[in-house]
A and B are shown apart, each in its own frame.
Chain A
Amino acid sequence: MDNGEVDINDEVSETLVPHICCEFQVLSKTDGSASFFQGSTSVLCGIHGPTEVKQSKQQNDKSAIEISANFNTVTHSCREKMLQEIIKNTAETMIITHTYPRTGITVSLQALHNDGSSLSAFINCLTMALIDSGLSMSFLVVAVTCGIPREPDKPIILYPSLEEEKLCVSVVTLCFDSVNYDVVTSYTTGTFSILRYEQALLQSESAGRRLVAIFEFIKRRSSDNCS
């Protein structure tokens, strides 16, 4: 681990992330698609692009990214709109939009089963689908969810389930880039101390490195299967 890379067979870091399962090319009519299983939470993502867009939505220097994310909630509120904006901004960071001016890239995300840590599952699924789509990317973005329990001495829970999230006083979702592992996106609910946040940052960074190793492994294996 001297150069920061994580060995996929490392037993210690195995405990950092839940069981990840990912399949490419699940949808036949899209340019890129992936179904992503993160523990019990699963998400499906389809990407169309670069495609033609209306004049009003066209941007001269880059591609216009449109996200539609269905969180499977009973009532639709502004909260879903806000989360969609967060996912859209993360996608814009990943994709080198200047490669595709005056076009549009449409991303559709659908939650299949929500057992907690849904925002990170969405962003991880988005990353996988983008790999499948072949769009130019500056780096991968991996998302980690931390649950901070009410009691200050209890350890931070990585990728909490729905039940565990209810017992936590706050839930922090962090996204890291795969090059320098700096924070790209952060979204929190609830309150926590600065110390807890720093603990969450450290632990999520380790989990993020593990996740990038897993993604690279999946990518290599799927391209081996194709050739």
Chain B
Amino acid sequence: MAEEFASIHLEDYYAKFIEQDVRPDGRELGEFRACSLSVGNLHPTADSSATVRWGNTMIVSGVKLELGKPTDENPEEGFIVINVEMTPLCESRFKPGPPSAFQQSVGQYIEEILINSGCIDLHQLCIKSGKLSWCIYCDIMCLNWDGNFIDACNVALISCLSRLKIPQLIIDEESDKPQINDDIPLRSLEIGLFPISSTFAVFNDSVVIADPNLHEESLTNSTVTITVNIEGTICGLRKNGGSSIKSDQLNVCLEKAVNRARELTQLIEQL
């Protein structure tokens, strides 16, 4: 009976729960879903990999190191290329073929979260100024979409990058070819404080709920994504239009985001 009501009148179904300060999946309004993380699933194909289960949302990410030539504007820096894949496998709204504007926009934002935070200094990827540098290719693939793609992707990406080991190279003088120096152990990629994002949705123009799942995302046109690190420095605050949010509600979200950043940073560092 509840299922039929939910499928026909999803908004009214949700409104009845929100009145009692709960959600249909049993969470409170400000509660995030549990996040479980496992690393090294794609070893040895990928240089670093991670799988994130965020409620029902499932993301796999893999990182590969390649050699490349630095750009002319930044000859002392390497680069990080992030590719986000959303296929019809995870959700029927994505059609095969070139990415839609929504897909490009989401992929771009995930890259911006990392670059904005400045947590990775690209100078450490440079091998020979202007000639050779490391290029980190990250591929993130969504296996199941149950809302809050950005936060889950971010955790997967950071876990991969924090575990990436970079070999030391010797460049052969005669042939000018790079070779891996097996004597020196691999060094870790240096990352500063992790930027952790938390997404909130404004429901019914008045109530703010944390970590919306797929149904909740379809009911609202207004989400706020706050990216913070454990020190409380905001690395990004994006609200994509839709119903407005009051400043006191925003302050509550900021607090929750900082707590969530502490939880997730601990989770990533523990493994």
Residues of A within 8 A of B (CB): 77-79, 81-82, 84-86, 88-93, 172, 175-177, 180, 182-194, 197-198, 201
Contacts and interface: CB of A to CB of B under 8 A. Distances in A.
Contact of A191 (B222, B224, B234, B243): B234
A184 B242 CA distance: 6
A189 B116 contact: yes
Interface string B216-249: 0000011010000000111111111111111100
Interface stretch (B10-18, B98-106, B146-154): B98-106
Contacts of B112: 79, 82, 189
A92 B246 contact: no
Contacts of A191: 116-118, 233-235
Given A186-B237, A191-B117, A197-B237, A82 B104 contact: yes
B108 A182 contact: no
A88 to B, nearest CB: 8
B238 A188 contact: yes
21 contacts: A77-B108, A78-B104, A78-B108, A79-B108, A79-B112, A82-B104, A85-B102, A92-B221, A93-B244, A175-B241, A180-B244, A182-B247, A183-B244, A184-B239, A184-B244, A188-B237, A189-B112, A189-B116, A191-B117, A192-B234, A198-B251
Given A182-B245, A183-B244, A78 B239 contact: no
A78 B105 contact: yes
Contacts of A172: 237
Given A84-B101, A191-B117, A193-B233, A183 B245 contact: yes
B240 A185 contact: yes
B252 interface: no
A89 B117 CA distance: 25
Nearest to A176: B244
Contacts of A82: 104-105, 108-109, 112
Nearest to B100: A81
B241 A184 contact: yes
A81 B101 CA distance: 6
A175 B222 CA distance: 13
B232 A194 contact: yes
A182 B105 CA distance: 24
A77, A191, A198 — which one has the most chain B CB atoms within 10 A of its CB? A191
Nearest to A92: B241
Report the contact-size class of chain B (Cβ under 8 Å from the partner). Answer: 20 to 34
B26 to A, nearest CB: 30
A194 B250 CA distance: 11
Given A81-B108, A186-B224, A192 B233 contact: yes
Given A78-B108, A79-B108, A188-B236, A86 B241 contact: yes
A146 to B, nearest CB: 12
Contacts of A177: 244
B107 interface: yes
Interface string B143-185: 0000000000000000000000000000000000000000000
A177 B222 CA distance: 14
Contacts of B232: 193-194
B234 A93 contact: no
A92 B243 CA distance: 10
Contact of A194 (B117, B118, B234, B239): B234
A82 B101 CA distance: 8
A93 B108 contact: no
Nearest to A169: B118
A85 B238 CA distance: 12
B187 to A, nearest CB: 26
A85 B116 contact: no
Nearest to A81: B104
Given A78-B104, A81-B105, 19 more contacts: A77-B108, A78-B108, A81-B101, A84-B101, A88-B241, A89-B240, A89-B241, A91-B241, A180-B246, A186-B224, A187-B239, A188-B238, A189-B236, A191-B116, A191-B118, A194-B232, A194-B234, A194-B254, A197-B254
Contacts of B237: 172, 186, 188, 197
A123 to B, nearest CB: 10
Nearest to A84: B101
Contacts of A188: 116, 234, 236-238
Contacts of A187: 238-239
